[in-house]
Amino acid sequence: MPSTATHIKANAKAALPSWDRIAGNWKQMSGAITERWGELTDDDLSVIDGQHERLIGKIQERYGIIRDQAEVQVAEWLKGMESASGR
């Protein structure tokens, strides 16, 4: 039976079109990102530059967590963003 992390990650991949929207509005979305992950710096956000994989890597680095945990956090955040936007 797949783990919860695997299930959430699979759902995140299905939600990637919403990532395109985030990447396209990166400067506006960076406020929501720092609200969720306050340890990310402005320099981190510049390096990430809307790239999904870079965000996961920076979250791993700043919070000292494994990749799966960072992916789950991003997937849950994306799901919340989708809910907030009424999609």
- For 40-60, the pLDDT digits (tens) are 999 999 999 999 999 999 999
Q: Which domains does the chain possess? A: 4-84 (1.10.1470.10)
Model confidence, pTM? 0.78
Angle at which helices 16-24 and 26-36 cross, to 10°? 110
Residue 3 has pLDDT above 90, yes or no: no
Token code pair at residue 42: 């402005």
Query: Within 1-87, where are the H helices?
Result: 4-14, 16-24, 26-36, 42-48, 52-63, 67-84
17 CB contacts (<8 Å, ≥6 apart)?
none
